[in-house]
Chains A and B, each alone.
Chain A
Amino acid sequence: MSPIHYVALSVILFVIGGVGVLVRRNAIVVFMCIELMLNACNLAFVAFARMHGNLDGQVIAFFVMVVAAAEVVVGLAILMAIFRARRSASVDDANLLKY
């Protein structure tokens, strides 16, 4: 299997994640879709690293994982707080910060 297929897979995963972020209302699902997009990027990085024969992409994939982990910690905490305050996990309900 040529690495280009991995790139194609990563594009498919990224688009699925993106569409999920845009169309889903449940914050948990939106959150998971963001994780999906991050991992699609990771896949692309690793595939390109393989294609170009250097380790830069692989190293960046580790950084992305660390960032994602940190993001999960903060993001889930915020989600918990919102849910406790408003009894809802819908992103459309948390719309007080506006004009």
Chain B
Amino acid sequence: MTTLHTVAATGALKLSWLLLAFPLFGAVVLLLGGRRTNRWGHLLGVAMPVAAFVYGLIAFFTLLGDTDRSQDQHLYSWIPVAGLQVNMNLLVDQLSICFVLLITGVGSLIIIYSVGYMSHDVDRRRFFGYMNLFLAAMLLLVLGDNYLVLYVGWEGVGLASYLLIGFWQYKPSAAVAAKKAFIVNRVGDAGLTLAIFLMFSEFGTVSFSGVFGSVKSGGSGVATALGLLLLLGACGKSAQVPLQSWLLDAMEGPTPVSALIHAATMVTAGVYLLVRSNPILAVTPDARLAVVLVGTVTLLFGGIIACAKDDIKKSLAGSTMSQIGYMTLGAGLGPAGYVFAIALLLAHGFFKAGLFLGAGSVMHGMNDEVNMRRYGGLGRVMPITSVTFGLAYLAIIGIPPFSGFFTKDPIIGADFSEHGAAGKVLGTLALIGAGITAFYMTRMMFMTWYGKRRWEPEAHPHESPAVMTWPMIVLAIGSVGAGAFLILNDRLQKFLAPVVGVPPTSEGVFSTAGLVALAFALVGVALAWVMYGRVPVPAVAPRGRPLTVAARKDLYGDAFNESVLMRPGQWLTRLSVFFDNRGVDGLVNTLAAAVGGTSGRVRKLQTGFVRSYALSMFFGAAVLVALLLVVRL
């Protein structure tokens, strides 16, 4: 059981607002500066995240040398009302500093890569402005010390994601994908909003320390409701079933965006929310089980989609869903899983960003071709990209000693020991998920780097410039070493223990489940070799079995949304339009028509004959006199 004990920030951490200020300054200058900043805009766009990363490192080492590692920096009082005190506070603790380093570190690498990737884009300055805006919002999300500040960052990253998915807004598909991402995220945000409302009405506070302090005495009903609402919020942001449909379409954005926002950082915000709210989840096993279920369903769902997609980015997007499913699964396991969820999140930040940047590098050399059936045999022409991609590949499928092995397999192992019999079933599904991961990633490797060259005639693939390859090399090093670094000697576990608690029993790195998962992964690799490595890959997709067809259509996620949500919504709209036209407008129109018709008839009395007017006046006067007489008598 953990509660949040914070002390006021001291020393270098007093400047933690700099973390937000750097990228925010970059965004403001680039977005308001206009064309004047075109020439040097990308340099500023790179410098600001790097500066934030440098400060993040300083803050990290300051924190390591301090005994009180949960430091709160009060910036100003944001909403000082009688019943509600919300401060703009930045909480630098063990959990948020992990995220700060991931966001600014991987973010800086991806932004450096973007200098090369976006070099031919006329709107490069705007791109860097949005990326800086995203980093500022994401840092606010992880640094806020209460749910309301977190919510501001949460919406900020949603906005940045919308702007960047629709960055090439002249493409209708990109504009639609941006809208879709925004709208689906709204559903999740409604959950988070309601959770914040509930916290305020039940506990009278929205700060982490206040809510966590009183959630135990608030009753399990409130805690379960809070847990489920937060899960809904996490589902929207992290593309978990049932709010998964936007992530695959979000690949319409530029590839660095997919790497930074839709793989490494923003989509993991849901996991951050769940892990940060661990004292709430600790009180409610029901909500934890729901989290585990969502995670398990999503890791299979995303994996199956990734197996069937020929679009390399969409396949990677399915893989992202699947990996975040593992993280969500870990977050639902309680203290046994939090550390591994965060470890997988950090390692995933490296290897998935590496995979996306590798995919971007291939697209850069292949005239933006995304269809893997038109790749093949690229390993020889793009050696650096293929090696970095390969290292990230070994990391994601969990081959020891790469990082996936150390971070994903413990989640599967912990799954078996939690939640009783349900845990066994879910753990088995997670094992199958490991096999699926190995299958689709191996498929991607074979289709892209090996086999016959199935290129379009006009494609002339070439290795990317150094500004793009170096970030990939650094990320590949991270993919190789991050897992071992974080997990061996329980480094991350000891570091995070004050925030998320200690796992009850640690089976060690080479657990039974880990070895079984490795076996499943090897079976997946072998299967992929049989299907895509041994036989040539056709350049045009075959019809495929029913499951393949379904997976190509995102397992009918869109069809489900359309028939269950959109159509009834349209009917409701039509019904209300009908009611508005016939009911509300009808009443008003009838009244107006009645008045008009009556006056049309009454105006015939206006004959134009003066003598008839005079007669009616006399008559009226006579009636008045008669009435006066009657009343008087």
Q: Which residues of A contact B (CB under 8 A)?
A: 18, 21-23, 25, 30, 91-92, 94-99
Contacts and interface: CB of A to CB of B under 8 A. Distances in A.
A95 B618 contact: no
Contacts of B607: 95, 98-99
Contact of B615 (A22, A25, A94, A96): A22
B603 A99 contact: yes
Nearest to B618: A18
Interface string B582-611: 000000000000000000000110111111
Contacts of A30: 610-611
Given A91-B610, A98-B606, A99-B607, 13 more contacts: A18-B618, A22-B611, A23-B611, A91-B609, A92-B609, A92-B610, A95-B607, A95-B608, A95-B609, A95-B610, A97-B608, A98-B607, A99-B608
**Chain B interface size, under 10 / 10 to 19 / 20 to 34 / 35 or more:** 10 to 19
A21 B606 contact: no
B618 A22 contact: yes
27 contacts: A18-B618, A21-B611, A21-B614, A22-B611, A22-B618, A23-B611, A25-B611, A30-B610, A30-B611, A91-B609, A91-B610, A91-B611, A92-B609, A92-B610, A92-B611, A94-B610, A95-B607, A95-B608, A95-B609, A95-B610, A96-B608, A97-B608, A98-B608, A99-B603, A99-B606, A99-B607, A99-B608
Contacts of A98: 606-608
A77 B278 CA distance: 98
A99 B605 CA distance: 8
Contact of B604 (A21, A22, A25, A99): A99
A37 to B, nearest CB: 10
Residue among A22, A30, A96 with max Cβ neighbours from chain B (10 Å): A22
Nearest to A21: B614
- Determine chain A's interface SS by DSSP, over half rule: loop
Contacts of B609: 91-92, 95
A95 B604 CA distance: 13
Contacts of B615: 22
Contacts of B618: 18, 22
Interface string B601-633: 001101111110011001000000000000000
Nearest to B612: A22
B614 A22 contact: yes
A96 B608 CA distance: 6
A72 to B, nearest CB: 18
A11 B88 CA distance: 91
A91 B611 CA distance: 8
Contacts of B610: 30, 91-92, 94-95
Interface in B336-394: none
A92 B615 CA distance: 14
Nearest to A95: B608
Nearest to A23: B611
A10 B609 CA distance: 28
